[in-house]
């Protein structure tokens, strides 16, 4: 996992689909990484649509907090994600796309969110972890 420390945000985002990359880059440049993640996760299509469950809310903070908690469990080798870590260890070499894909799928399954929609936020978080270092991130 130490290999992620040498990868910057642009490199992580280059692995996304073009529409995701362009949208998230624009959000990051306008709002910064943290707020871009929040805005990405709170986007829910046309304003006249009511989400499943019938509750209309624009507050993505509780979900973002839960996402970050699960992401930290994944990165810091929590036993809940042992199977997914094993998948990463089997791949040689592990590409950025595989990192994003496996983490997005694992967290999406836990959080009940589509992996494709989580991919841009996972890319940003991997960049943040890379800047800090895994050990510092896990101790924080």
Give the structural domain span for 35.
Answer: 2-43+60-139
What's the number of domains the chain is made of?
A: 1
pLDDT 10s digits, 80-89: 999 988 887 7
Q: Residue 37 has what pLDDT? A: 94
Instruction: Out of 28-32, 59-63, 105-109, 133-137, pick the least confident.
Output: 59-63
Please indicate, yes or no, if residue 124 is contained in any of the structural domains: yes
Whether residue 27 has pLDDT greater than 70? yes
Please indicate, yes or no, if residue 51 is contained in any of the structural domains: no
Please indicate, yes or no, if residue 53 is contained in any of the structural domains: no
- The dihedral of CA 132, 138, 139, 140: what is its sign? positive
The pair phi, psi for residue 17, each rounded to 5°, is: -65, 150
Cβ atoms of 88 and 103 closer than 8 Å: no
pTM of this structure? 0.82
Please indicate, yes or no, if residue 50 is contained in any of the structural domains: no
Please indicate, yes or no, if residue 9 is contained in any of the structural domains: yes
Please indicate, yes or no, if residue 132 is contained in any of the structural domains: yes
pLDDT 10s digits, 44-65: 544 444 444 445 555 557 788 9
The dihedral over CA atoms of 85, 89, 90, 92, expressed in degrees to the nearest 10, equals 140
Q: Residue 59 has what pLDDT? A: 55
């Amino acid at each position: 996992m130490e290999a992620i420390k040498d990868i910057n945000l642009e490199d992580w985002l280059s692995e996304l689909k073009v529409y995701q990359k362009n949208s998230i880059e624009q959000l990051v440049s306008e709002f910064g990484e943290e707020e871009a993640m929040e805005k990405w996760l709170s986007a829910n299509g046309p304003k006249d649509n009511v989400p499943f469950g019938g509750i209309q809310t624009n507050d993505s903070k509780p979900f973002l907090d839960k996402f970050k908690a699960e992401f930290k469990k994944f990165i810091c080798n929590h036993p809940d994600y042992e199977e997914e870590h094993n998948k990463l260890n089997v791949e040689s070499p592990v590409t950025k796309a595989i990192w994003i894909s496996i983490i997005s799928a694992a967290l999406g399954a836990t959080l009940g969110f589509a992996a494709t929609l989580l991919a841009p936020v996972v890319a940003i978080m991997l960049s943040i972890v890379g800047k800090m270092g895994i050990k510092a991130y896990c101790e924080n």
